[in-house]
Structure 1
């Protein structure tokens, strides 16, 4: 039932798409503007959103008449653009003004568990066993919590240049994931 190779693959894919390390500068900026981020609340929201979407995302697609392959192809394009943002340092997706309470919106959703993450979850269902995906979600939620609790320490540890390098490296990984998803769902 549980496959370590699948768990590691899912965990790394979700880790790359969530890009919690690459969002440390954004999280620090939000914390400065809002005054405080509730790490537990944000992490629990991320976990719940991802688990719910994993299990009912198919039904939501069926209601609007889409199949997983079409959604996966669309998701691969979203992931492609997110990767391009990370690699090139340009912004395709604009965020709204930051409200006073940022723990759930915009931090948990859409920054951490946003469209790219949800698309990736449904795409992963076409290639990996659901229990392995759930374990990958839980492991990533733990990582998100640790990072949210330690953003200042991580900023000092990596430094500005280190964070830029991490973001670009994960951007290249995401780009490869986007191409793999596109190819596997189009038969190319």
Structure 2
């Protein structure tokens, strides 16, 4: 077991940008308004289970369906690219319907533990020790839980313009991550 503070910090920051829980505050507010209540604990636990299970069996699952990790990472980099463009430009490429019960779908999956997160986990597995990735996941999900529990307070604290600034800033970070993922997996 090779614990590394530098790896944990790197993984935590990468997952923080990918999960983008702060940039998702406007979506979470809309979900809470439509559903009436979001079960923060349930959403966080389900997202954690999905992420950790995918970290350990995602590559095997891809092999079973005949997809190599590089292809999955390139596809994921394109998804991340479009999500980043949505955040930066304020356009909507992905049109999701919001169900009446929102704690699991779309909150835990795909908002928190979506395709971009899963792709990133597989990419991180190639570069970092698994224990450091798991700790990065847990640190992020503690923060996710805090945000979910306090989304109304955060909205009042940040204001509409503050939420938009966060969304744009994390969009640029995601765009850089998408380009890095693409370059690393295509050899460009």
TM-score range, shorter chain: over 0.9
| TM, length-normalised to structure 2 | 0.96
Instruction: Give the CA deviation at 1:110.
Output: 1.2
1:164 match:
164
Distance, in Å, in 2 between the alignment partners of 1:101 and 1:73 is 32
Structure 1 contact 76–178 (Cα < 8 Å) conserved: yes
2:105 match:
105
Count of residues paired in the alignment:
187
2:28 aligned with 1:24, yes or no?
no
Instruction: Give the CA deviation at 1:187.
Output: 1.6
Instruction: Give the CA deviation at 1:127.
Output: 1.6
How do 1:30-179 and structure 2 match up within 5 A? 30-96=31-97, 98-179=98-179
Distance, in Å, in 2 between the alignment partners of 1:8 and 1:187 is 26
* Residue-by-residue CA offset, 1:60-109 (whole Å, 9 max, x unaligned): 1101112211211111111111111111111111102x222211111111
* Residue-by-residue CA offset, 1:12-50 (whole Å, 9 max, x unaligned): 111111111111111111111111111101110110010
Structure 1 contact 75–123 (Cα < 8 Å) conserved: no
| TM, length-normalised to structure 1 | 0.96
Structure 1 contact 28–152 (Cα < 8 Å) conserved: yes
Structure 1 contact 68–126 (Cα < 8 Å) conserved: no
Distance, in Å, in 2 between the alignment partners of 1:2 and 1:76 is 27
* Residue-by-residue CA offset, 1:151-174 (whole Å, 9 max, x unaligned): 011001111101111111111111
What is the alpha-carbon root mean square deviation over aligned residues?
1.0
2:10 aligned with 1:9, yes or no?
yes
Structure 1 contact 79–175 (Cα < 8 Å) conserved: yes
**Which blocks of at least 5 consecutive residues in structure 2 are unaligned?**
none
Instruction: Give the CA deviation at 1:134.
Output: 0.5
* 98-107 or 135-144: bigger deviation: 98-107
Distance, in Å, in 1 between the alignment partners of 2:62 and 2:172 is 29
Query: Where in structure 1 do 4 or more consecutive aligned residues deviate above 6 Å?
Result: none
Structure 1 contact 39–145 (Cα < 8 Å) conserved: yes
* 161-170 or 69-78: bigger deviation: 69-78
Distance, in Å, in 2 between the alignment partners of 1:110 and 1:126 is 23
Distance, in Å, in 1 between the alignment partners of 2:160 and 2:16 is 20
